[in-house]
Structures are given as structure tokens and as C-alpha cells.
Chain A
Amino acid sequence: MRFFEVKNLVKYFGGLAAVNDVSFEVKEGEIFGLIGPNGSGKTTIFNLISNFHSPTSGSVLFKGRDITGLKTHRICKARIARTFQVVKPLGRMTVLDNVVAAAFSRAKTKHEARDLAMETLEFCGLAHRKDMLAKSLPIGERKRLEITRAMATLPELLLLDETAAGLNPSELVEAIDLIRKIREKGVTIIIVEHIMKVIMTISDRIHAINFGRTIAEGTPGEVANHPAVIEAYLGEAYARG
């Protein structure tokens, strides 16, 4: 049984094909990178997986089950969590309450939810901020809160949407460490990222898309040297040379 699979995913916005026949497979326990220039459809793929948009055609399979068209909150219950590129902190709640709200999707009692939330905050290194309002966190920690909240739903598959964008170099190192730590916990990760340093160092395999279509897939080394990828990022002249 395949762990996670996206088959022939298509999404049209009006006449524009934002995602056009994309298929890929993710193995359990790996970090799977999704790259592509701006507007190539990476975030749309995440939105299709978590059903913020429903796909025009194609299917999403998770552990042998077809989860296409399942409501967003049910996809979370099925143990696929996501973060948002534009962070969405629950601003006027404390950091702890943000995570408790997420933990309630697994915990039965308030006590359990608090315990799970505290544990997750410790794991993600945000425990010292627990009593702060989420809206007063700096951007680096807001990104971390996104991950913490997603982790509190105890996912098996985590979709990270540009969690490293806007971080300073030391925060970047911390973010990479955290992503590795999450993988060591047994969580499979699909990561969308623009910062090549991040995606090339942590991904096991990378899937590159442009204009909503697959252009390459393979190990970071293979993808980085693939002519279609170089063309997409740097233009045709570089690809030939």
C-alpha cells in the first residue's frame, strides 16, 4: 500500500490551469520537496490536498484511502496537517490556547488537551512564549507556531508551506533542525520552499513544477542539474549552456 499519492491532479481557475495533471508519490518517513517558480502552483497543490479548493479532476490517496473531496477538518482528523504560507495565528488567543484548540482534535478532555499542547510546545521550542498573545509574536515565532499547532493535531503527514521564508540565518538553522526533529518522530513531510539552501539540504526527493505541470523529479542533486529546472529558474540561455 502506498503511503501518500496524488494522481493526475488538475485545477482550473476559470480558464487558467493552476495545476495541470500533476502526479507524485510520497513514501512513509521521507521529506518530500515541492519546488517551482512563483505562481507555478505549489500552494494550490497544498490547497487541493487539504481541500480548501476542490480539484477539477484527479485524486488524492492517503494510506490506500481516497480522501479527495473530504472536508478540510476531516482531512485533519485523517492525520494530514498543514501550515499556511501567510501565517494565520489566532491573534487574540495566547500561544498556549492556539495549540490547545488544535490539540482538542485528539484529546478528549481539557486536561488532556493542555498536556498535549504543552508537550508539543516543548518539542517545538515555543514553551517560553506560551502566555503571550499570538498576534504579538515576531514573524519567526509565528511560523513556528504554525508548525506547533499542526503538530498538536498529531499528524502522520505534515504539509509545510514556506515555513522558512522571511527567517533570518540563525532562525533558518533552527527551522531546519525542527523539521529534521519532526521527521525523526516518524512524521512524513511534504515541504514547499523557495530557499534552495533549505530544500536542497533536507529533502530526500524533490518534485519540480512549472506552470502547473511536472518538469522533474528525483534526488536534490538530480533535480538541481535537470535542464528543465534550470530553464524554469534561470531562463533558456542557462539551460543550454
Chain B
Amino acid sequence: MKRFAPFLLLVILILFPLLVRDDYHQHLMILVLMWVVIGAGWNVIAGYTGQVSFGDAAFFGTGAYTAGLFATKLSISPWWAMAAGGVAAMAVAFPFGWICFRLRGAYFALATLALNEVMRHIATIWEDLTGGMVGILIIQTFVSKVPYYYIALALAVAAVIGVQAVMGSKWGYYFVSIREDQDAAESLGIDTHLYKMISLNIAAFLTGMAGSLYMNYMGFIDPEVVFSLHDISIMAILVGIVGGVGTVYGPVVGAFIMVAVHEFFRTGFFGFFKGLAALTGSQAITTLAKYVMQAHVLGFGILVVVVILVLPNGIVGDWKKITGWLPLGGGRRSAA
């Protein structure tokens, strides 16, 4: 069962747009797949290599802006920017890693946080290039969501398989060694600085690609959206932690759950509060609904606390614990 689960999931994902034809659910699935890519990238640098990044938005935004600038400044199809966005994000990651990998642990995490803010400010202030707060608007290629869905799916599958391949190789052993003990790793002949750089650049490439995909799909970006600390950087961490840090399928599970939770709050518990307000006509409930819809970050926070307390290794990492809770012997008992 466990061996076939990924294939089964893949088949379902391939058939999904044929079975579910409304735009809203297709839109959500595209976001899920995009978050799988970002989560896979975060998992490489933070989950496997142990260098926690609070600045994934720096790479995401760089990828998105690369795609946007390809279209508006160079008049090249932003689809070319899918790869270029990844490379541009690496161009940000490279000098950053070169300097900041001298820092360890929390200090490195703080540096990534700073990178996030620096990139957001650059995108805001450099109006000649980026358009500043106005953002960039491009014409989307497709009206239907289906092509975007399959591109996102291809990217997500490639990201998961790619990360799995890397982690099975020498690089993978080195990344985990660095996470477990950097001094020991160094004494075993591992060039820790080099391999942290490789890991960060893999993460940046994947996240940058996801950013380009976002630009192509949404058609509009501004600095507050794509360089957002809480909607991109923190969300990436949540996808990683909820799914399971340092597991291959953790980001996949994490992306599903986090996009669902995000949507759950954004829609006010799937329209529950709005419906309640309309039903009762109460002004107080209308106001409450508004606050609940804005409280998704609070919801994220509570979710993370619960996950870390109950499932410290995430849903994939603690899968055995979860199956242990389920009454698996129940079927036999009811038959008797």
C-alpha cells in the first residue's frame, strides 16, 4: 500500500482537472502544486541540511519578477522565465550564501529574514525597473486553468523526484551530516560551506521556478505579495513543518493542508460566518466574520503549535503515530 500511494496520488492528480471542472477548485489545486515545489525547496535547505530559512520569499519574488520583467521589459514570453527565474533566484542565493553561511543556527535564520526584507525593499524602491508598489501586470497566456494545472503538476512532480534523487546521492548524505553536526561533518572531509551553498541553491532554484509560475498564472504581482514574509516565507516553513521536516513527501502533504487551512480562514470557514451573518442579520457577526477571515495567520500559528506538540516530526514523519490512533481493528470487531 505504502509503495503504491505515490502512484495512486499521481494518477488522481493527473485526472483531477478532467473530473473537477470548476475554476475555483482547479485554482486551489494549482496553488497546492506550487506550494509543493516551494516546500520541496525549503525542505532541502532547512529540513535536510538544517539551515532554517525565513526568507524563501526572496527567491520566490525574484523568480516572479524575472518572469514579469521578461514580459514587460524584454517582450520575451514569460514562460522562458520559468528556468530563468530559478537561475535568477540562484543569483540572489549565491552571494547571500557565500557571506552568510559563516553564521550558524539562529543567526543564519535571521540573515535570511533580512534578505527577505532587503529584496522586498529593492522591489519597492527601484521603480524604474519594477514599477514599485504599482507592481507588474502581464496578459496571461491561457484563459483556461487546465494548462496551468498541468505545468504546475509537472513542476511539482519534477521537484519531488529531483529532491528524492539528490537525497539518495552523496549530496544527500552530506546535507544530513551537516544538519546533524557541522563540526563532525567537517572532520569527515565534507566541505560544509560548499555543500550548504549547493543545498541553498537547489532550494533557491525550485522556489524561483515556483515564483515564475505564479507570475505566469496570476498575471499580476507587487512587492507586498511576492516578497511577503507571512504569506510566502512563513507559509513555506509551515508547509515544511506540518508535512514533516526532512521527509520526501512531507512538502506534498504540507502543501495540501496549508492551502486548505489558508482557504478555510480566507473564506470565513467556507462561508459559514457569512451565511450566519446573512441568516441572522446581525452586525456583530458580520464584523466577526471579517476578523476571522483576516485571522489566517493566527490560525497558522495555532496549527503549528499543535503540530509541534502532537506530531513533532510532521504528518509524514509521525505517520506511524497517526495510524496508531486509528481504530484499525474496528472492522473485525464489527463483523463479529
Dominant SS among interface residues on chain B: helix
Bound together, the chains give a CA A56 to CA B188 distance in angstroms of 24
Is residue A27 contacting chain B, with contact meaning CB distance below 8 A? no
B188: which of A52, A91, A105, A110 is its contact (CB, 8 Å)? A105
Contact of A110 among B170, B174, B180, B181 (CB under 8 A): B170
Tell me whether A23 is interfacial, beta carbon within 8 Å: no
In the complex, the answer to whether A50 meets B187 with C-beta atoms within 8 Å is: yes
Tell me the smallest distance from the CB of B333 to a CB of chain A, in Å: 35
User: What is the CB-to-nearest-CB distance from A43 to chain B, in angstroms, rounded to a whole number?
Assistant: 13
Tell me if B190 is interfacial: C-beta within 8 Å of chain A: yes
What is the minimal beta-carbon distance from A170 to any residue of chain B, in angstroms? 27
The interface size bin for chain A is: 20 to 34
> What is the CB-to-nearest-CB distance from B92 to chain A, in angstroms, rounded to a whole number?
26
Interface contact B173-A97, CB-CB below 8 Å = yes
B173 touches A101 (CB 8 A): yes
Q: Is B303 an interface residue (CB 8 A)?
A: no
B191 engages A93 (CB within 8 Å): no
Kindly identify, within residues 76 to 108 of chain A, every residue whose CB is under 8 Å from any CB belonging to chain B: 76-77, 81-82, 84, 88-93, 97, 100-102, 104-105
B247 to chain A, nearest CB (A): 12
Number of interface residues of B (CB under 8 A): 19
A90–B187 CB distance below 8 A: no
When the two chains form the complex, which single residue of B173, B183, B187 contacts A100, counting CB atoms closer than 8 Å? B173
Which residues of the other chain, A, contact B189 by a CB distance below 8 angstroms?
Answer: 73, 76-77, 102, 104-105, 153
- On chain B, the residues within 8 Å of A113 by CB distance are 170, 173
Q: What residues on B are CB-neighbors of A104 within 8 Å?
A: 170, 173-174, 189
Q: Is the CB of A81 within 8 A of B170?
A: no
Task: Collect the chain B residues with CB atoms within 8 Å of residue A110's CB.
Answer: 168-170
- Interface residues of chain A, those whose CB is within 8 Å of chain B, are 50, 52, 71-73, 76-77, 81-82, 84, 88-93, 97, 100-102, 104-105, 110, 113, 149-150, 153
Instruction: List 11 contacting pairs A-B, 8 Å CB cutoff, sorted by A.
Output: A73-B191, A73-B192, A81-B187, A90-B176, A92-B180, A97-B173, A101-B176, A104-B173, A110-B168, A113-B173, A150-B187
